[in-house]
Amino acid sequence: MSDLSLTLRKTIPAPVETVFNAWLDAKMLSKFMMPGKDMTVPRAESDGREGGRFMVVMAAGENEIPHAGTYLEVTPHERIVFTWESPHSVDGSTVTLNFKPAGPSATDLTLTHVKFASEEARTNHQGGWAGILEKLAEVAG
């Protein structure tokens, strides 16, 4: 099922620089990497450069789910590509973020996630990423 992918688009009410930098900053990651309403991020780390790593622990109550990855591409204010490592991902799973200005104070963000173990995993991730992009729009704007 490694050919499974998903693409989401969201307009974020903040300038491209702000939205782009949020994905590389641990403090900002801890504010929006929450796929569900009752989730928190008790720990986040980020070395926001090509070859750098990030780690985000998503928590639902006492249940903590670690997520990590390596930044494969960081093209300032245009594109970020990173690996996606979690208990629910498969080897070679990657996320690509493309940023485009949508006027002076908004950003069109396109998120593409490739490689899933099953249709169910893709569906679950689609809902999770949609929640994360919604939260990003709240905290970045």
Residue 104 has a pLDDT of 86
For position 17, what pLDDT does the model report? Answer: 97
**pTM (two decimals):** 0.96
pLDDT in tens, 96-107: 999 999 988 999
User: Which residue range forms the structural domain that includes residue 41?
Assistant: 5-140
Q: How many domains does the chain have?
A: 1
Over range 28-51, report the average pLDDT: 96
Retrieve residue 124's tokens: 């679950």
Residue 2 has pLDDT above 90, yes or no: no
CATH code of 80's domain: 3.30.530.20
DSSP of 39-68 = EEEEEEEE--STT-EEEEEEEETTEEEEEE
- Cβ pair 27, 49 in contact under 8 A: no
Q: Report d(CA 49, CA 71) in Å as an integer.
A: 6
Residues 6+ apart with CB under 8 A from 87: 65, 66
Per-residue pLDDT at 6 exceeds 60:
yes
Q: 4 falls in which pLDDT band (50, 70, 90)?
A: very high
What average pLDDT does range 44-56 have in this prediction?
98
